[in-house]
Amino acid sequence: MQPFFDGQLESHLLKLGFVDEETLGDALTETYGVPYASGERLRAIPPAVLSAVPAELARRHRVCPFRADERRLRLAMLNPRDGRAVAEVQAAAGWRVEPWITCEFRLYQALERHYWLPNEAVRSAALAPPAVSRKERPSRERDLARSGPREEGAEIAPDGRPRDAEIHLDDATHAPVPQPPAAISARNSLGRLEAALAAAPDRDALAAALLDYCASQAARCALFAVGRDGIRGVAGRGRGFDTENLRKVCVSPDAPTVFDAALRSRDFYFGVVPALPGNRDLYTVLGGKLPATALVLPIPLKERTAALLYLDDDERPMTRPDIALMRRVAAKAGLAFEILLLRNKLREV
């Protein structure tokens, strides 16, 4: 069976009902020597815990955080002996990581539910054909009703169910969740950003166009230049992030800050801002208090990171941004910077 369907054997055993989850958890705990993260533990995860690990990091290492206490982050993993994954998550989250083992089926279910990541779970076999045809299956509305009525103000997960709703073994896939209006509006305004970047006559105008766009996505935003002598503020929007104040910022390249993960990975960082000395010094200049969460995106110029785009919602946790869209914004900004440099060189010839 396993060579035909791929994936880990325990996923098929659990799905087919040959083993119950408690027995599977006991076996995995005995094998790996760490606790088992069951479906119940991965069902309702606080947003603050999820924001500690960026979605790209969760996808790449196939991990899901599910609880944090006393600066300790509990992490569900397929391979809790993966030291590199633990180290990268620990660096990104700023908390000590405690690895837990989970099964493939539960992990992919959690990544889809909490991070909006496509469900990469393997195909599963069925012991008998379903009792009803697809046409006769209940609608998505009735499927969601199995979780019980939604209380007013109840927090809804990305899959459209209340965060504390029970997820059954046959709920392996869900219908796509409609994008929020804010994401649609952001995409519609992307063309205006492109036009403004293309028309920018100098670096200041280019930065202004970029930050005008980002100001519609978050309460505060800023552009930082990356150089050999450190990271310097260029321009900003929002409380404490005015350009005059931001240009006072110069972060030493040796000081650990919120920028490190994005610089190291050359990819976005979205999560909590660790209470490191470098961050405290930085935010003393920028408003005086660490934000709840922040988004940092590298802006590439040829083969290096020339700048960093920064967004936060001040003292409020950020709603998870459209990462794919913001990556495009950063890439367009990098291309615009490169075109501006070429224009200046042409004038010198």
Instruction: Report helix angle 190-199 to 203-214, nearest 10.
Output: 170
Helix, coil or strand: residue 8: coil
Task: Calculate the CA 246 to chain-centre distance.
Answer: 26
191-227: per-residue pLDDT in tens? 889 889 988 999 999 999 999 999 989 999 999 999 9
If asked whether residues 190 and 293 sit together in one domain, one would say yes
Residue 98 burial (10 A CB sphere; 0-12, 13-18, 19+): middle
- Please tell me whether residues 29 and 98 are part of one structural domain: yes
| CA distance linking residue 53 with residue 57, whole number of Å | 7
Q: What is the pLDDT of residue 85?
A: 94
With a cut of 60, say whether residue 117 has pLDDT above it: yes
Asked if residue 165 lies in contact with residue 143, where contact means CB atoms within 8 angstroms, the answer is: no
Higher pLDDT, 155 or 190: 190
Q: Is 143 within the bounds of a domain? A: no
Q: In the listed set 92, 123, 154, which residue is the last one of a domain according to the structure?
A: 123
Clarify whether residues 291 and 221 are in a common domain.
yes
Q: Examine the domain organization and report whether 118 and 195 are in the same domain.
A: no
What is the mean pLDDT of the segment spanning 270-275?
87
CATH number at residue 261: 3.30.450.40
How far apart CA 310 and CA 3 sit, in angstroms, is 46
Residue type, position 12, single letter: H
Q: Is the pLDDT of residue 299 over 90?
A: yes
Shared domain for 199 and 108, answered yes or no, is no
| Residue 66 CB neighbours (<10 A) | 23
Query: What 3 state SS string does 189-257 have?
Result: CHHHHHHHHHHCCCHHHHHHHHHHHHCCCCCEEEEEEEECCEEEEEEEECCCCCHHHHCCCEECCCCCC
- Clarify whether residues 107 and 228 are in a common domain: no
Containing domain of residue 195, as a range? 182-348
Whether 230 and 318 map to the same domain: the answer is yes
- Same domain as 300, residue 202: yes
For the chain, the average pLDDT equals 79
Q: Which residue has the higher pLDDT, 153 or 53?
A: 53
Are 217 and 321 in contact by the 8 Å Cβ rule? The answer is yes
pLDDT digits (tens, 9 = 90+) for 135-147: 444 444 444 444 4
pTM: 0.49
* d(C-alpha 197, C-alpha 255), whole Å: 32
More reliable by pLDDT, 23 or 233: 233
CB contact burial 134-169 (16+ within 10 A = b; e otherwise): eeeeeeeeebbeebeeeeeeeeebebbbbbebebee
pLDDT at 164: 55
Q: Identify the pLDDT of residue 35.
A: 92
Q: Return the number of other C-beta atoms located less than 10 Å from residue 276's C-beta.
A: 16
How many structural domains are present in the chain?
2
Residue 252's Cα: distance from chain center in Å? 26
Instruction: Identify the band that residue 346 occupies on the pLDDT scale cut at 50, 70 and 90.
Output: confident
Q: Are 225 and 307 in contact (CB under 8 A)?
A: yes
Mean pLDDT of 68-90: 92
Examine the pLDDT at 281 and tell me if it is beyond 70: yes
Same domain? For 117 and 224 the reply is no
pLDDT in tens, 308-341: 999 999 888 888 888 888 988 999 999 999 998 8
Average pLDDT over residues 93-105: 92
Under DSSP, the state recorded for 156 is B
CATH code, 92: 3.30.300.160
pLDDT at 219: 93
